[in-house]
Structure 1
């Protein structure tokens, strides 16, 4: 509707600028002027919509200039061919005008208009993208504030916590090295969870993976190394970033709700990161007996933060039946 209104305004301005007589000669007398005017408005709307949303907005996000220039060239060649057929075979020029001169003027005018349309489309796309990024950043900041408030609500004084853990570590190092190591792991896990990771709350993927392994090791110590866990990791894209604790939360959920001692149905954790994609999977057999109470806050928080950060470039799949539970995340970089 917005682009249609824009093209109606442009058409009315054109009529006022060049006068009704020239417009009638250009679009034709009688009903032809209405048909051609509607055609021009619809065509302009489609052209701007396709250029802005399918060419220029992707350009502002991925900066692939060569691809965009090629797309624009193909687009405008097709558009020029369509304009040529419409003007010289459907509408047809005035028989009294010279065809050669009309063709020359047509191609010069079309080229100038194509450049102008491309510039306008790029300007509008930049404005739209900037506005989306501003809103996106505001939403991320709001979510970060909520997470910080939640942390403040449930945590004790961090200095007291870490000083206590340091004291316990020192006291148990000689008498029970494994217990001391567990305390050290717990200290690092808590520090990771409470650290300030910037306004967007993101961390390098490799750092998140490192702390996932610490959570796994901590739980193995808790259960005397009897947990049946299959962990696979292949990280090629070290530059990739994700929301802090996004993957750790899903691993902790598997420990909380999964059957951790079934040799045939091990907890499966996979993390594969290439230059174009991050793939993460956590699957587990559900444990029998009484269930631990859960409000699903952690899972919902992960979903919201991934949606805010990656939008349509990611998918979060949850599969569940009576016996098994699976989380699968795919992020396109």
Structure 2
């Protein structure tokens, strides 16, 4: 929450500096164009001038911050036009009411004042200014979003390159592995069908992990679910079907099945639960929950911690999942890790 507040503050300060510079430049231009005396008659003198200038800068900063970062950038990312139009209409209605009160109630100009405009002229001018403000905000929001997408694509390409280099460094010839597994499967199929099935599962899981996916390293949710279930089944075979696992899945629509997720993201979290969790406690089962709609994916894995000696772990898998989710979804996702002395939980929410 603190990091997010700092990010907001930085965005506001950038807009404040730009808008202040622009306002000063515009004021100086007016003085040069029509003279100091005429300009001061329009904007006021003494303390009134400072009040009006500060009010203009603060109001402009707030307006552009809300338009760019709260309305337009989310619109560009989500394409939710209905929500954006309603929010925009509400925002400009509130803004126009505020400006009317400021100009006609707080400033309370007289018809004889040089800066006085009639309510009809005010509303016409406000509408034209709002249109200009929207166009400027759209321009900057598009630039900011394009820049973020370019940086994210560059980071994803770098991460992909690192992953490829790591695979080259640590891989054993996959053809040798699969040929060996095929041989073991054939030899054990008649004497031990369950062992043969386990070998077959292992072969499919490894093929999934080593396969070349799209440039972002993503797969349809349905495929990730399929191999996650194979990992669960493989572990049940390893432990003679004695594992206490509670699995719940709810897929609302077929659209959710084809939503893309990072390869092995869910599988990695499930493997971690089997690696570090207490697997034989009926009251504290390994819990796996998956819910998906066309707009959101929710995934949870929780387990009671295993007592006694722990398997060595560098946390590389979990760190990789966090990093890939951040690069792919940014603010559209959350990844919570909750842990105490006895329990461990991972929770992912992705807004599509």
Assess same fold via TM > 0.5. yes
Task: Check whether the contact 2:42–2:114 (CA below 8 A) recurs between aligned residues.
Answer: no
CA-to-partner distance for each residue in 1:259-282, whole Å, 9 max, x for gaps? 222333322222121233322222
Match of 1:40 in 2: 56
Match of 2:262 in 1: 243
SS, match of residue 299 in structure 1 = helix
Q: CA RMSD in A?
A: 2.2
SS, match of residue 196 in structure 1 = coil
CA apart distance, 1:98: 9.8
Does the alignment pair 1:183 with 2:199?
A: yes
CA apart distance, 1:116: 0.5
Match of 1:194 in 2: 210
Q: Work out the CA distance in 1 between the residues paired with 2:58 and 2:114.
A: 29
CA apart distance, 1:130: 1.0
Q: Could you tell me the TM-score, scaled by structure 2's length?
A: 0.87
Tell me, which stretches of 5 or more residues in structure 2 are unaligned? 1-12
CA-to-partner distance for each residue in 1:274-324, whole Å, 9 max, x for gaps? 233322222222233322111111111112222222233333222333333
CA-to-partner distance for each residue in 1:209-241, whole Å, 9 max, x for gaps? 110111111122222222222222112221322
Task: Check whether the contact 2:304–2:344 (CA below 8 A) recurs between aligned residues.
Answer: yes
Task: Check whether the contact 1:206–1:235 (CA below 8 A) recurs between aligned residues.
Answer: no
CA apart distance, 1:22: 3.1
Tell me, which stretches of 5 or more residues in structure 1 are unaligned? none
Q: 1:100 to 1:223 in 2, by over 3 A?
A: closer
Task: Check whether the contact 1:15–1:23 (CA below 8 A) recurs between aligned residues.
Answer: no
In the alignment of these two chains, the number of paired residues is: 333
Match of 2:18 in 1: 6
CA apart distance, 1:91: 2.7
Q: Work out the CA distance in 2 between the residues paired with 1:70 and 1:261.
A: 53
CA apart distance, 1:171: 2.8
Match of 1:206 in 2: 222
Task: Check whether the contact 2:42–2:115 (CA below 8 A) recurs between aligned residues.
Answer: no
Match of 1:104 in 2: 120
CA-to-partner distance for each residue in 1:24-61, whole Å, 9 max, x for gaps? 12112333222212221221111111111111111111
Task: Check whether the contact 1:286–1:323 (CA below 8 A) recurs between aligned residues.
Answer: yes
Q: Work out the CA distance in 2 between the residues paired with 1:177 and 1:125.
A: 60
SS, match of residue 135 in structure 1 = helix
Moved more, 227-236 or 186-195: 227-236
Q: Give the counterpart of 1:27 among 35, 43, 49.
A: 43
Structure 1 moving runs of 4+ over 4 Å: 97-101
CA-to-partner distance for each residue in 1:151-195, whole Å, 9 max, x for gaps? 222220112212222222233323332222212111110010011
Q: Work out the CA distance in 2 between the residues paired with 1:278 and 1:146.
A: 27
Alignment of 1:12-91 (within 5 A): 12-17=25-30, 18-19=33-34, 20-91=36-107
SS, match of residue 257 in structure 2 = coil
